[in-house]
Amino acid sequence: MTAYTGDVTTGGPTALRVLDEVEIRKVSVGPMDNDAYLVTCRRGGSQLLVDAAADPDRLLELVREGNETARLDVVVTTHRHRDHLAALTSVVAATGAQVAAGAPDADAITELTGTSVTRVLHDGDLVVVGHLTLEAVALRGHTPGSVALVYREPEHVTCPGAVAGRAHVFTGDSLFPGGVRRTTTPDDFTSLYDDVTARLFDRFDDATWVYPGHGRDTTLGAERPHLAQWRDRGW
């Protein structure tokens, strides 16, 4: 099996990471090179999709890669921007999946897509998918309701490449290699910077893997030395 790097291209193959409890699949879709992630419970086949961003046919193919019955339990939309939800209606219609999103963005997502958000998420809420539990982390600033999802590996691991207790964070557009995402006002930047610092960097160690909404993956360890630079530049 090819080692997971997180490097994907639009129209290209799926990047697959296999851990003890979970398989994580990453693809790039749409004209804005959005990353979408499928999280599959290895024990029972339950699945969660992070951001039905674009190209529903490709995303449904991704769902089938994870589970040949095309089971999809929930779609988590990380925030309300159109490029992260263009395929939401089609994916939900085809799979019957529930839709979860940060509470302040939920109404806007419903209005933009015509698809109801069936679960609103607040900071610290748990999302259970089969035998997996992920934590919602509110990262306010890029949009009021932006959320990340955190999965932790178990304390005892056997798969090559697994790390006991390591966190995996799906950050949407709130954290990328090189900084936080665009904000529209200084107050929004301060809010996002403070949340990312307190709720991610202060809580999780350097091995924490970051899966952003666009582009390449990173780790908190790779980004931590630059926090003061991000604060000083204001973006």
Q: What is the CATH number of the domain that holds 33?
A: 3.60.15.10
Which residue in 51, 56, 17 sits closest to 36, CA to CA? Answer: 51
SS3 category, 91? helix
Percent of the chain whose pLDDT exceeds 90: 96
pTM, two decimals, is 0.97
Element housing 126 (H / E): strand 126-129
Residue 212 predicted with pLDDT over 90: yes
Which residue in 227, 235, 136, 120 sits closest to 185, CA to CA? Answer: 235
Residue 153 predicted with pLDDT over 50: yes
Mean pLDDT of 106-122: 98
Residue 157 counted as domain residue? yes
User: What average pLDDT is seen over the chain?
Assistant: 96
Residue 195 counted as domain residue? no
Residue 207 predicted with pLDDT over 90: yes
Paired with 138 in beta bridges are 147
Mean pLDDT of 12-23: 97
Which one-letter amino acid corresponds to residue 117?
V
d(CA 138, CA 9): 28
Which tens digit of pLDDT belongs to each residue from 37-63?
999 999 999 999 999 999 999 999 999
Residue 196 counted as domain residue? no
Mean pLDDT of 175-182: 93
pLDDT of residue 120: 98
Residue 229 predicted with pLDDT over 80: yes
Residue 150 predicted with pLDDT over 60: yes
User: Residue 118's domain spans which residues?
Assistant: 15-176+208-218
pLDDT of residue 1: 47
Residue 197 counted as domain residue? no
Residue 181 counted as domain residue? no
Mean pLDDT of 88-115: 98
pLDDT of residue 182: 83
pLDDT of residue 181: 86
Residue 84 counted as domain residue? yes
pLDDT of residue 2: 63
Residue 50 counted as domain residue? yes
Residue 203 counted as domain residue? no
How many folded domains does the chain comprise? Answer: 1
